Amino acid sequence: MLLWALWAGKEAAFKALAKKVPTLPFIPRNFEVHLDDCGLRGTSTDAGRCSPRVEGAVLTPEGTVPLRIYRRCTCIHALALSEGEEFFDYVFWRVEVLPELKDVDSLEAESRIVREALKRCVATHLGWNQKDMEIRRTEAGNRPGPPRLYYQGKRTILDLSLSHDGRFGAYAVLMPSPDDRPPESDKSEIACRAEDAVL
């Protein structure tokens, strides 16, 4: 688990920074993960439980990136922010077990499932109509750019991340602070909690 956590931390930091520096190369040895404790050294008796988060940071060519890692069963979920750790309080995230897909392009289907889950989250918490949302990616140099959420045809300021690997799909979205939410939203604060990792 610890090795997976270190790798997930490197990838999360890179994804966060690549939004600001699209030409940043992913050279794993240049992303040094430091964790505050090793609560990720679980045993098989821990299966099914979500461990408390592990705090840390990733030292990168662009500076230090705050990191939070969660573990449940055989799933590691890493959150990294390029803005600063105080913004973790406005990140809403979820990990889901993907259905077994047969006779379809599984990568495309997994991507679609995770995108729809993120749109449901935003619709629930901001009061937006899910049918008016679209997630688009544009080219950023020689690789696909980060996903962007459009609402009623206009690009939003929401920062989001989508991921799927094997049986798991995940999303994270940095929501506006309660003071910056649209007036039609009746939702209170959104916090990143360990129990939000649903498997």
Structure tokens at 128: 């937006």
Query: Which ranges constitute the DSSP H helices of 40-141?
Result: 106-126
Reported as a single tens digit per residue, the pLDDT across 32-85 is 999 986 655 544 344 445 566 889 999 999 999 999 998 876 788 899 998 778
Reported as a single tens digit per residue, the pLDDT across 29-41 is 999 999 986 655 5
Query: Which amino acid is located at 145 in the chain?
Result: G
Q: What is the pTM of this model?
A: 0.76
Reported as a single tens digit per residue, the pLDDT across 144-179 is 788 999 999 999 989 999 988 878 888 999 987 655
What letter does residue 178 receive in the DSSP assignment?
G
**Sign of the four-CA dihedral 179, 78, 36, 45:** positive
- When the pLDDT of each residue in the chain is averaged and rounded to a whole number, the result is 79
Query: The tokens 């069963």 sit on which residue?
Result: 73
